[in-house]
Amino acid sequence: MADRRLTPFSGRIAHVSLQGQVEAPLTEGSPARLGLPLVPLLRSPGGALDRTLLFGDAVTVIDRDAGHAFVLSAKDGYCGWVDEAALAPWTPVTHRVATPATHVYAGPKVQAGMRHPLYLTSAVQVLSEDGVWAETPGGFVPSSHLLPLDQPAEDPVAVAEMFLHAPYLWGGNAVSGLDCSGLVQLSLLSAGLACPGDSDQQQAIGQAIPEGAALQRGDLIFWKGHVALMQDATRIIHATAYTMRVIAEPLAPAEARIIAKGEGPVIARRRPTGTPARTP
């Protein structure tokens, strides 16, 4: 059975990539970007939250209904519904936000007034820079908060560590609230590595680590419905509902606690490899 999260079929209209697989009108869709800082990706128009998309994320619009648009996310292939008001025209982007959060200002000075926030991995088009401020079509962003798209972070775990104490939020993908798979996806995408959105999908990342083999910084540890990154051979960092925030802790007591709660043992250990992230 096809995974609905990765199937570009709204129930009425399908993407041309599904030709011969579904009986429905087909479309190539239309390219767009997201123009709001945080955009809920829903299972149905106005329905339950699956994930959160970010400003500048590229999408293909496949269907529209009841003020919502069914989209295919370019960065991870995730499909779902967003509010039509969140859509903006597709334009080239040059940089990504490299800090947990930043702000777009009305002018190139801190007193100019903040227009809206941006969050890690949000994509923008830089029109000009003066070393302090980067001008974008929507306003000015501190240059030190941005990196060119071709300059990934060196260490995904260092990215995750920037989120320590950030609040837990189911389906969240930003410092204002994120879940376990959101933390992993932000960390790997920042490092230029492809990463799907949910923890069960992330179990296909990279290479399996043989049972008994030593763990290392950057490895992924999976339980049913949960994922953590290894900080080193014995410690993990993860967004957990146990504390409702991102924490770092030793792996052994975390394993014991999760088993004691009836949520089972570790089910997979993976080492991310150099599969490049998709171009925004």
Same domain, 125 and 217: no
Closest-CA residue to 277 (of 172, 197, 220): 197
Same domain, 50 and 123: no
At 205, give phi and psi (nearest 5°): -70, 140
Interstrand relation of 128-129 and 133-136 (parallel, antiparallel or unpaired): antiparallel
Same domain, 134 and 169: no
| CATH number of the domain that residue 28 is part of | 2.30.30.40
Which two three-digit tokens encode residue 217?
């910084």
Same domain, 9 and 36: yes
pLDDT at 40 over 90: yes
Domain count, the chain: 3
Q: Amino acid letter at 235?
A: R
Burial class of 125 by CB neighbour count within 10 A (0 to 12, 13 to 18, 19+): middle
Asked whether residue 206 is assigned to any structural domain, the reply reads yes
Q: pLDDT per residue over 198-231, tens digit each? A: 999 999 999 999 988 999 999 999 999 999 999 9
pLDDT at 25 over 80: yes
Domain end position, chosen among 40, 59, 89: 89
Read off the pLDDT band of 278 (50, 70, 90).
confident
Interstrand relation of 26-27 and 58-65 (parallel, antiparallel or unpaired): unpaired
Residue-range definition of the domain harbouring residue 79: 4-89
Which two three-digit tokens encode residue 233?
């051979």
Same domain, 100 and 85: no
- What value does the mean pLDDT of the chain take? 97
Same domain, 28 and 125: no
Asked whether residue 109 is assigned to any structural domain, the reply reads yes
- Average pLDDT of 238-256? 97
Query: Residue 274's pLDDT is what?
Result: 82
Same domain, 143 and 227: no
| CATH number of the domain that residue 170 is part of | 3.90.1720.10
Same domain, 160 and 142: no
Asked whether residue 276 is assigned to any structural domain, the reply reads no
Asked whether residue 277 is assigned to any structural domain, the reply reads no
Same domain, 105 and 129: yes
Q: pLDDT per residue over 81-119, tens digit each? A: 999 999 999 999 999 999 999 999 999 999 999 999 999
Asked whether residue 278 is assigned to any structural domain, the reply reads no
Same domain, 163 and 215: yes
pLDDT at 1 over 70: no
Q: pLDDT per residue over 131-146, tens digit each? A: 899 999 999 999 999 9
Same domain, 160 and 84: no
- Average pLDDT of 67-78? 98
Going from the C-alpha of 160 to that of each of 28, 128, 149, 247, the distances in angstroms are 36, 30, 19, 10
Same domain, 183 and 124: no
Percent of the chain whose predicted confidence (pLDDT) is above 90: 95
What is the CB neighbour count within 10 angstroms for residue 272? 21
Asked whether residue 225 is assigned to any structural domain, the reply reads yes
